[in-house]
């Protein structure tokens, strides 16, 4: 009877051990099923499975069973939802974008996302509770493997490591070797190749991506310290006429949905009637995520030279050197990158609300804008960072702008993003564009009332996908950049006084409206529109110069911060 009980207890322990190992291996199983990197490659799947199992069991060689499961529970199970979420959202294992989003997210948005999928939250919590209950109830603190099995591991691990190093070293010799390549160079390449492979194996992908994000953030902070002595060497502009230059950075607005660009709905009735408004037909963003796009708009950096955004100051400081008073007005939450720029401005206003707050409207910025414009003295340069069409679309406009129906009521959340709800999504989105038209027109009214000579550029940080075609893509930040998130509205407006002072610039910027441009032109064009001359301004990137270059292609940073080749001919797909 005693022997039978011992056998039953041992069997139960083995069953629970197997179940706990299975729970720990769920993220790896999900990778096998959903990762695009492994899809269709049987050999790669087998290799991934084998290496993942070895890495999962390796600590068990050195740790007792209970300690092993406690350690794995903390270091692996805790982060499993991140891996599964990444696979669900992008069909990729955890990567830079995922961790960067988590570390820089707004807790209000994060909470909203979690509450929108309560069943997922419940499942995660239940799995955690079951795991630890089984662990502390049924797992004894004994050796995980018999001594014979441990000996096999001790022999197999060095052999596997040696074979792997020889294979990867041979691979680097075949692919990365030239006459000037040394043995040490090959070893470095081998190390990088191994890291790349580990970067796709859970949980190492989470750790390596986190380290990458933290390293980059530290580098950004260090570079910003170096900017204290940086100068564009711009001579202050001497002009008796006070001017105002405004940059409005929109949010998630796409070119196709603007009525003045030929959209079937008249979503821009006010801007369309303004003869001093020029809409560019082929403007493309350099990044499809706000965090990547805004630094490229504000500086001379571009998608193939992103480091310049951290090595040089922004267009705000350039205007400051030119003798302009500078201001920053925002409805968005401020990033660490923007904080440095705002600190250097003469005036600033922040909405002080989180993105998920209901009734967060861009029109609420107008009193602060009007107040800043009323300050006498120097010429003004102002950045307005609007909320635009940031998800949730229906909370970006008041009830009187709910023109296109059926649209969402206050129940709109992340669970609403389905192809079945495409009509609701499009209607709510178009209503937000209608409100953007009202906001921009109202801003123009304030400028006309306060500033005889003014000019303005409005562009969006990126566009948006709305289940537009057979690809069934929605939102933005995709790894394969679509024309709907690449093609952005780029609108120039000016006063009659500006037109009288700079008739040639106005004539030229109108003539240039059908050229292919990117958001890289903003820095140069703003300074040129204010007739500021400096060596840092490229005439080929100024919309007010007839030397403006019309591009055939560019590179756009995707959601993973990788430059993706984009041809302007792709924009024709929108017109089909």
Indicate the domain borders of the chain: 2-145+199-214, 242-575
Which has more pLDDT, 7 or 23?
A: 23
Percentage of residues in the chain with pLDDT exceeding 70? 85
Nearest residue to 493 via CA among 251, 310, 298, 246: 246
For the chain, how big is the Rg over CA atoms in Å?
A: 28
Which has more pLDDT, 492 or 34?
A: 492
Q: How confident is the model at residue 511 (pLDDT cuts 50, 70, 90)?
A: very high
Coil, helix or strand for 177?
coil
Which has more pLDDT, 94 or 19?
A: 19
- Scanning the structure block, which residue is given the tokens 């340069």? 381
Mean pLDDT value of segment 49-69: 86
pLDDT at 89: 66
Quickly name the fold that domain 242-575 has. Answer: Alkaline Phosphatase, subunit A (3.40.720)
Mean pLDDT value of segment 135-142: 88
Q: State the pairing for strand pair 243-250/453-460.
A: parallel
230: DSSP letter: -
Nearest residue to 234 via CA among 532, 553, 574, 557: 532
CB 288 within 8 A of CB 499: no
pLDDT at 357: 46
Distance between CA 105 and CA 12 in Å, rounded? 43
In this structure, of 67-76, 325-334, 353-362, 521-530, the range with the lowest mean pLDDT score is: 353-362
pLDDT at 247: 98
Q: What is the mean pLDDT of the chain?
A: 84
Q: Does the pLDDT of residue 246 top 90, yes or no? A: yes
pLDDT at 395: 80
Q: How confident is the model at residue 1 (pLDDT cuts 50, 70, 90)?
A: very low
E-only strand ranges, 364-460: 380-385, 453-460
Q: Does the pLDDT of residue 77 top 60, yes or no? A: yes
Which has more pLDDT, 222 or 495?
A: 495
* Residue 504 CB contacts under 8 Å (≥ 6 apart), including other chains: none
Q: Does the pLDDT of residue 192 top 80, yes or no? A: no
* Residue 397 CB contacts under 8 Å (≥ 6 apart), including other chains: 361, 431, 432, 434, 435
176: DSSP letter: S
pLDDT in tens, 293-309: 999 999 999 999 988 98
Distance between CA 248 and CA 262 in Å, rounded? 22
Q: Does the pLDDT of residue 240 top 80, yes or no? A: no
Distance between CA 94 and CA 39 in Å, rounded? 16
Q: How confident is the model at residue 356 (pLDDT cuts 50, 70, 90)?
A: very low
């Amino acid at each position: 009877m005693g022997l039978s009980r011992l056998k039953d207890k041992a069997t139960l322990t083995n069953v629970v051990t197997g179940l706990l190992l299975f729970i720990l291996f769920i993220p790896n199983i999900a990778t096998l099923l959903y990762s695009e990197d492994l899809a269709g490659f049987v050999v790669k799947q087998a290799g991934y499975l084998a290496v993942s199992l070895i890495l999962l069991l390796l600590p068990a060689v050195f740790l007792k069973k209970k300690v092993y499961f406690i350690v794995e529970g903390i270091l692996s199970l805790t982060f499993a939802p991140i891996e599964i979420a990444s696979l669900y959202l992008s069909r990729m294992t955890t990567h830079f974008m995922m961790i960067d989003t988590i570390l820089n997210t707004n807790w209000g948005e994060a909470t909203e996302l979690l509450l929108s999928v309560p069943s997922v939250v419940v499942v995660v919590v239940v799995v955690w509770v079951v795991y630890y209950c089984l662990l502390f109830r049924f797992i004894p603190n004994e050796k995980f493997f018999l001594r014979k099995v441990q000996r096999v591991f001790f022999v197999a691990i060095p052999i596997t490591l040696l074979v792997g190093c020889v294979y990867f070293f041979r691979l680097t010799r075949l692919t990365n070797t030239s006459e000037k390549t040394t043995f040490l160079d090959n070893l470095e390449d081998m190390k990088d190749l191994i890291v790349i492979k580990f970067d796709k194996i859970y949980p190492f992908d989470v750790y390596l991506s986190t380290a990458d994000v933290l390293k980059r953030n530290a580098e950004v902070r260090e570079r910003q310290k170096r900017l204290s002595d940086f100068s564009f060497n711009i001579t202050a502009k001497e002009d008796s006429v006070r001017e105002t230059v405004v940059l409005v950075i929109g949010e998630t607005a796409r070119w196709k949905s603007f009525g003045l660009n030929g959209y079937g709905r008249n979503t821009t009735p006010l801007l369309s009637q303004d003869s001093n408004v020029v809409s560019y037909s082929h403007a493309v963003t350099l990044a499809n995520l706000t965090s990547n796009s805004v630094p490229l708009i504000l500086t001379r950096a571009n998608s193939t030279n992103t480091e310049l955004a951290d090595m040089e100051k922004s267009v705000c400081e350039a205007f400051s050197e030119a003798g302009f008073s500078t201001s920053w007005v925002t409805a968005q939450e401020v990033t660490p990158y923007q904080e440095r720029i705002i600190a250097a401005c003469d005036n600033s206003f922040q909405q002080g609300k989180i993105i998920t707050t209901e009734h967060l409207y861009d029109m609420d910025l107008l009193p602060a804008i009007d107040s800043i414009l009323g300050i006498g003295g120097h010429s003004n340069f102002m950045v307005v960072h609007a909320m635009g069409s940031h998800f949730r679309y229906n909370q970006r406009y008041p009830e009187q702008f709910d023109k296109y129906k059926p649209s969402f009521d206050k129940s709109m959340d992340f669970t609403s993003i389905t192809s079945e709800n495409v009509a609701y999504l499009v209607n709510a989105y178009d209503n937000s564009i209608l409100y953007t038209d009202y906001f921009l027109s109202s801003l123009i009214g304030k400028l006309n009332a306060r500033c005889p000579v003014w000019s303005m550029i409005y562009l969006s940080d990126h566009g948006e996908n709305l289940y537009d075609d057979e690809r069934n893509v929605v939102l933005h930040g995709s790894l394969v950049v679509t024309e709907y998130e690449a093609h952005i509205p780029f609108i120039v407006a000016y006063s009659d006084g500006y037109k009288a002072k700079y008739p040639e610039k106005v004539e030229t910027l109108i003539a240039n409206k059908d050229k292919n441009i990117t958001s890289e032109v903003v820095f140069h064009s703003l300074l040129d529109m204010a007739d500021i001359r400096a060596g840092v301004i490229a005439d080929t990137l100024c919309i007010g110069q007839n030397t403006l270059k019309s591009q055939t292609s560019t590179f756009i940073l995707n959601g993973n911060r990788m430059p993706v080749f984009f041809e302007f001919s792709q924009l024709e797909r929108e017109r089909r």
